[in-house]
Amino acid sequence: MMGRINKRVLNLITAGAAAFLMAGCSVAKTSNNNGTHQDKDIIKIGVNMELSGAAAGYGNAEKQGIQLAANEINQAGGINVNGQKKKIKLIIRDNKTAIATSASVAAQLATKDKVAAIVGPATTNAGTAEIPNITKASVPSVSPSATDPSYTLQKNGKVQPFVFRACFQNNFQGENAAKFVTNNLKAKRVAILADNSSDYGTGLAKAFRKTYKGRIVDSQTYSEGDKDFNAVLTSFKSKKIDAIYVPGYYTEVGLIIKQARQIGIKIPIIGSDGMADPKLAQIAGDKYATNIYYTTPFSTRVAAKNATAKKFMTEFKNHYNVEAPTFSALAYDSVYMIKTAIENEKSDDSTKIAAGLAKIKDFDGVTGQITVNKTHDPEMPIAIEEMTNGKVSNSFSVE
């Protein structure tokens, strides 16, 4: 998921902060190859996360998954580093959903705190901002939810050596949503209403258009913060469409669903993992959140067949007294991917962890079996959830 940064937040970034970010980019293009080294008894893992600002809902869900994983690992004795058990020490910092802050947080974690690895950020833009500083320090980062296809790649097309993610790309989501609309919903006439605030919504819409076999009757966009969608929805209603594809985040999509249902649009509304949050139904209203579908890397119904996922869901519910959300599951897997890399490489040196992350194969994650490919992207399953009366009522595995 996750490419958007709040435009209002961007407008508040000062010229000095922007200059700092550009300076960081100019001096941090290559790794120093030395990496960071850990203390005798602990392994420091940094968390660069959106805990306030526009993406705080996602960031705080990911923080919960990170903390649960670290607590579990520590209670089991820690991470095995060449025969020695070492406990995880989390160093959690808020990037405030701001690119300049994300860059400075990454520099602090990598060079001052000397963490072995970083989990986060949640969004592609904040994640991209940290890349120069983690590369300079040779510290790997695993984002639970940065989904832009170019996130793990340099401008020349080569892989970013210290950048990894635990989620699939936007184009994979858009393609599978189109297949589902074509094959499962049998929708022959579709309208698209996409978030144009970032590459997240526009990238998903592009992938959907490329794969969808029916007719796209109309295609419109909206911006982050928009609240009135009645005009465009009324236009859609007059065009005899079979479904609406709405790639975006729960904040706006919840309102779109509510307003669509209020004017009598009852057809399926399909979206992306940005909808995979309980707040979607809170905004839309339970009675309106019916005949809703979205792509997701983690479905509780699909996961119920997976022993690793079942254990996670039970422990999450016991710990936080709520059902485990998608972004907590992705973050939980991110921590265990770092653990796996350390144990496979028999080293907690940050450069060795990066090498270990690149070699992960058939990792048994909460979100399914994961293999990291040559572009540092996980090859993993995707699911589609259906929502009825504000609750997940069905799920579909997509091949």
User: Is the confidence at residue 397, as pLDDT, over 70?
Assistant: yes
Mean pLDDT, rounded, of the chain: 90
Instruction: Note the pLDDT of residue 38.
Output: 84
* CATH number of the domain encompassing residue 239: 3.40.50.2300
Cα–Cα–Cα angle for 355, 100, 373, nearest 5°?
25
SS3 assignment, position 123: coil
Instruction: Note the pLDDT of residue 18.
Output: 38
Model confidence at 27, pLDDT cuts 50, 70, 90, reads: very low
| The two structure tokens encoding residue 166 | 């635990």
Structural domain count, the chain: 2
Instruction: Note the pLDDT of residue 14.
Output: 34
Instruction: Note the pLDDT of residue 21.
Output: 38
Q: What is the C-alpha separation between 102 and 366, in angstroms, rounded?
A: 27
Instruction: Note the pLDDT of residue 306.
Output: 86
Beta carbons of 316 and 308 less than 8 angstroms apart: no
Domain span at 150: 7-168+308-380
Top-confidence range, 1-10, 17-26, 170-179 = 170-179
Beta carbons of 185 and 232 less than 8 angstroms apart: no
Residue 394 is assigned to a structural domain of this protein:
no
User: Is the confidence at residue 74, as pLDDT, over 50?
Assistant: yes
With helix as H, strand as E and coil as C, how does 142-208 read? Answer: EECCCCCCCCCECCCCCECCCEEECCCCHHHHHHHHHHHHHHCCCCCEEEEEEECCCHHHHHHHHHH
Residue 202 is assigned to a structural domain of this protein:
yes
- 112 and 64 co-located in one domain: yes
Q: Which of 384, 184, 173 is nearest to 292 (CA)?
A: 384
Model confidence at 2, pLDDT cuts 50, 70, 90, reads: low
Q: Which of 92, 94, 102, 42 is nearest to 67 (CA)?
A: 92
Instruction: Note the pLDDT of residue 399.
Output: 57
Model confidence at 33, pLDDT cuts 50, 70, 90, reads: low
Beta carbons of 142 and 338 less than 8 angstroms apart: yes
Mean per-residue pLDDT, 111-123: 97
Residue 138 is assigned to a structural domain of this protein:
yes
- 158 and 197 co-located in one domain: no
| The two structure tokens encoding residue 152 | 């793990």
- 47 and 139 co-located in one domain: yes
- Of residues 54 and 14, which shows the higher confidence score? 54
- 104 and 248 co-located in one domain: no
